[in-house]
Amino acid sequence: MVRIKICGITRVEDALAAARAGADAIGLVFYPASPRAVSPTVARQIIRALPPFVTSVGLFVDASATEVHQVLAEAPLDVLQFHGNESAEFCNQFGRPYLKALRVKPGDDLNALAAQWPDASGILLDSYKDGVPGGTGEIFDWSLIPLERNWPLVLAGGLTADNVADAIARSAPWAVDVSGGVEQAKGIKNAAKINSFVQEVKRV
Ligand SMILES: O=C(O)c1ccccc1NCC(=O)[C@H](O)[C@H](O)COP(=O)(O)O
């Protein structure tokens, strides 16, 4: 069973649509430059509306430790996700499980890179696009993913209901992560697209 995270949630109704569809986690973006960014206050409202057993994940891009602590003081996130150049030492300091996101480029030794964050709960692989730290809506070359690995893979980058079955077949991820592929506008999810995506993942 491949787990599912719906990322870039900005509204309670979208979080509930994800939960009702059967998603395992939702992602909240704390990167001010993103069109999907939420404030800690809105994040708290979304988290409080979630039914049990749906994990809340907070995304940061080279935020300071103080900024992460400020978010955590208001929004009780279950898991942190770091999308920038954060070291393992930085990621470890918050007393929360975390995912480290890596943006994949040809020639990367992904096993060696993943080993730099040995305490991560998982490694999220996303597409590399110059100057864009995440949420690109673009797929990367899944053949670059090592099939022999000792870390849980969260596959992201341009996934949709149309390509997720192929992506799963090629990479055998622990979980998949989608944002743009289930949106009707940036930051606004579409319940029908969420349902199609979740059903397709659960079908394979
Ligand atoms: O969504 C953003 O705007 C964003 C900005 C900065 C860092 C990460 C961001 N999003 C992360 C995600 O939504 C997912 O982990 C992933 O990038 C998948 O996005 P998509 O390709 O749109 O499915």
Structural domains for the chain:
3-203 (3.20.20.70)
Phi/psi at 136 (nearest 5 deg)?
Answer: -75, -25
pTM reported for the whole predicted model: 0.97
Q: Provide the token pair at 186.
A: 């940036």
The string of pLDDT tens digits covering residues 165-190 is 999 999 999 999 999 999 999 999 99
CB of 180 shorter than 6 A to ligand 1:
yes
The answer to whether the beta carbons of residues 99 and 80 sit under 8 Å apart is: yes
Q: What is the pLDDT at residue 135?
A: 83
Q: What is the pLDDT at residue 131?
A: 87
Q: What is the pLDDT at residue 178?
A: 98
- Using only C-alpha atoms, the chain has a radius of gyration, in whole angstroms, of 16
Tell me: pLDDT of 110 over 90. Answer: yes
Q: Reduced to 3 states, what is the DSSP secondary structure of residue 203?
A: helix
Catalytic residue numbers?
7, 126
CB of 10 shorter than 6 A to ligand 1:
no
Measured CA to CA, the distance from residue 47 to residue 57 in angstroms comes to 10
Nearest ligand 1 atom, CA 159 = 23
Per-residue H/E/C for 5-54: EECCCCCHHHHHHHHHHCCCEEEEECCCCCCCECCHHHHHHHHHHCCCCC
The string of pLDDT tens digits covering residues 38-94 is 999 999 999 999 999 999 999 999 999 999 999 999 999 999 999 999 999 999 999
CB of 200 shorter than 6 A to ligand 1:
no
Q: Whose CA is nearest to atom 5 of ligand 1?
A: 134
The string of pLDDT tens digits covering residues 113-168 is 999 999 999 999 999 998 888 888 999 999 999 999 999 999 999 999 999 999 99
CB of 187 shorter than 6 A to ligand 1:
no
Q: Whose CA is nearest to atom 9 of ligand 1?
A: 134
Between CA 43 and CA 175, with CA 66 as vertex, the angle to 5 degrees is: 50
Half-sphere exposure of 174 (CA within 13 A, CB side): 13
Mean of pLDDT over the chain: 97
35 Cα: distance to centroid of ligand 1 (angstroms): 10
Tell me: pLDDT of 104 over 90. Answer: yes
> What ipTM describes this predicted complex?
0.96
